[in-house]
């Protein structure tokens, strides 16, 4: 009898939890985006180059990179423009003056875990990409594109940077400019530049709900995503364990445990643009 009496409140609690979860999932969805298992697979890309600003930025596209390698057997390369020396440590794991070296090591381990084939870590100033001549950055990205010969370049949307960070927007602009120039220019040594660029985006409802002023800025400056793909909770959590000096940055930024956030922010969202028609 006691069990029957307890069933009513338990059921009500269950329904309540399910309703809250469904509402949270809806906030972190972009229903108009085409659902695919793999961005590289859906496009038929054979070589992917990701261009980002900081150690740990690659976790924002961990699903894309990991799936490209494991499922589609695609060549993957990662460029990170800074060594993250200005980052806050959460938790404190090293002398602040050693942070660039520590974060460089974390980034190399993260790249290895994602089975990245080639990795470049540059030494532009963290939180100072805005002060670097855009042409200097573009030239560096152009050289990386020529080296790795991707057909797909992955980067930040230049108007929002997925988080509103100025470095994200700057490297997104540099990657876009470089990719476009090579795609529109003449082929050199049989390589005619990338065919697609994929900009990683945030779910607008979700980032507006948890991201404060920066989240509102991001949501207002993002385009509609064209594609969504699974982000993989275990890959992201493993990535944050590897980035030990940044392990609790999700909790610090959004006041939500990373594991809980990823239960509702499950997908990665992209705007994919074709830079040239190769047919
Ligand atoms: Zn970053």
Residues with CB under 5 A from ligand 1 (ion): 54, 57
Structural domain range at position 225? 2-274
Cis peptide before 40 (omega within 30 of 0): no
Whether the CA torsion 253, 220, 157, 236 is positive or negative: it is positive
| Cα 57 to middle of ligand 1, angstroms | 5
Strand order of the sheet with strand 34-35?
34-35, 227-230, 267-274, 196-201, 152-156, 47-52, 75-82, 118-124
Q: List pLDDT tens digits, range 202-249.
A: 999 999 999 999 999 999 999 999 999 999 899 999 999 999 999 999
Please give the model's pTM, rounded to 2 decimal places: 0.94
Q: List pLDDT tens digits, range 71-126.
A: 999 999 999 999 999 999 999 999 999 999 999 999 999 999 999 999 999 999 99
Distance CA 271, CA 222 (A): 9
| Cα 102 to middle of ligand 1, angstroms | 16
State the residue for tokens 């969202």.
269
Domain count within the chain: 1
Three-state SS at 56? coil
Tell me the pairing of strands 75-82 and 267-274: unpaired
Q: Please indicate, yes or no, if residue 270 is contained in any of the structural domains.
A: yes
Asked if residue 4 has pLDDT above 60, the reply is no
pLDDT at 19: 86
| Cα 47 to middle of ligand 1, angstroms | 23
| Cα 90 to middle of ligand 1, angstroms | 15
pLDDT at 6: 61
pLDDT at 20: 84
Q: Please indicate, yes or no, if residue 179 is contained in any of the structural domains.
A: yes
Q: Please indicate, yes or no, if residue 279 is contained in any of the structural domains.
A: no
Asked if residue 54 has pLDDT above 50, the reply is yes
Q: Please indicate, yes or no, if residue 216 is contained in any of the structural domains.
A: yes
Q: Please indicate, yes or no, if residue 97 is contained in any of the structural domains.
A: yes
Question: Residue 133 phi/psi, 5° resolution?
Answer: -50, 125
pLDDT at 277: 67
Q: What does the mean pLDDT of the chain come to?
A: 95
**What CATH number is associated with residue 249?**
3.40.50.10320
State the residue for tokens 């090293």.
94
| Cα 56 to middle of ligand 1, angstroms | 7
Asked if residue 279 has pLDDT above 50, the reply is no
For residue 250, which of 96, 30, 103, 90 has the smallest C-alpha distance?
90
| Cα 113 to middle of ligand 1, angstroms | 19
| Cα 54 to middle of ligand 1, angstroms | 5
Rounded to 10°, the helix 233-242/99-113 angle is: 150
| Cα 116 to middle of ligand 1, angstroms | 18
- Per the DSSP assignment, residues forming a β-bridge with 256 are none
Q: Please indicate, yes or no, if residue 30 is contained in any of the structural domains.
A: yes
| Cα 59 to middle of ligand 1, angstroms | 10
What is the chain's length?
A: 279
Distance CA 147, CA 120 (A): 11
């Amino acid at each position: 009898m006691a069990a029957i009496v307890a069933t009513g409140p338990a059921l009500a609690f269950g329904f309540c939890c399910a309703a809250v979860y469904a509402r949270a999932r809806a906030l972190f969805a972009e229903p108009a985006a085409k659902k695919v298992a793999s961005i590289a697979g859906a496009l038929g890309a054979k070589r992917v180059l990701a261009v980002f600003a900081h150690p740990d930025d690659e976790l924002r596209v961990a699903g894309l990179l990991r799936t490209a390698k494991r499922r589609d057997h695609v060549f993957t390369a990662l460029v990170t423009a800074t060594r993250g020396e200005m980052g806050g440590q959460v938790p404190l794991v090293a002398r602040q003056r050693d942070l660039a070296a520590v974060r460089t090591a974390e980034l190399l381990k993260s790249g290895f875990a994602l089975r990245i084939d080639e990795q470049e870590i540059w030494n532009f100033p963290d939180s100072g990409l805005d002060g670097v001549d855009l042409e200097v950055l573009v030239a560096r990205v152009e050289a990386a594109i020529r080296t790795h010969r991707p057909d797909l370049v992955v980067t930040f949307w230049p108007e929002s940077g997925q988080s509103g960070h100025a470095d994200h927007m700057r490297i997104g602009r540099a990657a876009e400019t470089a990719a476009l120039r090579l795609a529109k220019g003449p082929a050199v040594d049989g390589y005619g530049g990338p065919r697609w660029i994929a900009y990683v985006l945030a779910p607008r409802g979700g980032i507006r709900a948890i991201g404060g002023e920066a989240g509102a800025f991001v949501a207002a400056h993002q385009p509609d995503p064209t594609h969504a793909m699974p982000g993989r909770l275990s890959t992201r959590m493993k990535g944050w364990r590897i980035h030990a000096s940044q392990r609790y940055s999700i909790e610090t930024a959004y006041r939500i445990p990373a594991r809980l956030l990823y239960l509702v922010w499950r997908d990665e969202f992209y705007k994919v643009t074709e830079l040239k028609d190769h047919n």
